[in-house]
Amino acid sequence: MKATPTATAKELVEELRALGSEGYRKVLRNHGVPDPMFGVKVADLKKIEKRVKKDYRLALDLYDTGTYDARYLAGLIADETRMTETDLRHWLATADCGATCEYVVARVAAETEHGRELALEWIDAADENAASAGWMTLASLVSVTDDADLDLDELKGLLARVGGSIHARPNRVRYAMNAFVIAAGSYVRALTALAIRTGKAVGEVEVDMGKTACKVPFAPDYIQVVKDRGTIGKKRKSARC
């Protein structure tokens, strides 16, 4: 079924159903994504995003279907200028896996005016998914925000917090904290040296990556690669991808 640019969430879900494959469902399961899901590749979701464009109401409706692929698409088309704190809190509270928290909720939150406030709240959460969403929101924030608009002292304090607590945090939170160190060092020139020192002090970060071949990057090495290619401080156009 081909949906039109003014498609409803129900119509888009049926389109997604037809695009899914068992092979990609297996990949998603290995990354901890539970049913319901169809197994639609991100490349196919982005084709729909290009056609539908940003649509606040449609994004909310898609997310509330509870289907992983629809939720990912919701994140791609969400209008960051209209997303409210209530919307974002609802998305996090009803997320059922780390992937949705870290790659849908966090990235959308980072592009809204509520991103910093929510991130600082979420990193203190006892819930693993909420805390990881908070650190991933911070990582995304520094990747898209001009340095002049960042609180460098606050970010330095957050790097110190990572250095002093990362190994005692839950599995996915460790992964997200490590991602924040990498982002701070890669996207904020004034923090590059500190992020590298923090990463070296922390050392290798152990994270159970489930049934995948994914590895946790060693932050100093990752930042050095960015430095070597001359792109330290180069911001992303969008946190979402």
Q: What is the pLDDT of residues 178-204, one digit of tens each?
A: 999 999 999 999 999 999 999 999 999
180 domain residue, yes or no: yes
| Burial class of residue 155 in the structure, from the number of CB atoms within 10 Å of its CB (0-12 exposed, 13-18 middle, 19+ buried) | buried
Segments forming the whole domain that contains residue 237: 101-241
Tell me if the pTM is above 0.85: yes
Domain boundary among 79, 111, 139: 79
Q: Are residues 153 and 53 in the same domain?
A: no
pLDDT, position 4: 47
Q: Are residues 19 and 115 in the same domain?
A: no
Query: Which has the closest alpha carbon to 232: 193, 192, 196?
Result: 192
Q: Are residues 74 and 125 in the same domain?
A: no
Residue whose token pair is 């960015």: 226
Q: Are 159 and 197 in contact (CB under 8 A)?
A: no
Q: Are residues 123 and 222 in the same domain?
A: yes
Q: Are residues 211 and 125 in the same domain?
A: yes
Q: How much of the chain, in percent, has pLDDT values that exceed 90?
A: 96
The kind and range of the H/E element at 178 are helix 171-187
CA angle 100, 83, 130 (to 5 degrees): 35
Residue whose token pair is 């590749």: 41
85 domain residue, yes or no: no
200 domain residue, yes or no: yes
**Tally of structural domains, the chain:** 2
* Region 100-119 average pLDDT: 98
Q: Are 105 and 133 in contact (CB under 8 A)?
A: yes
* Region 122-146 average pLDDT: 98
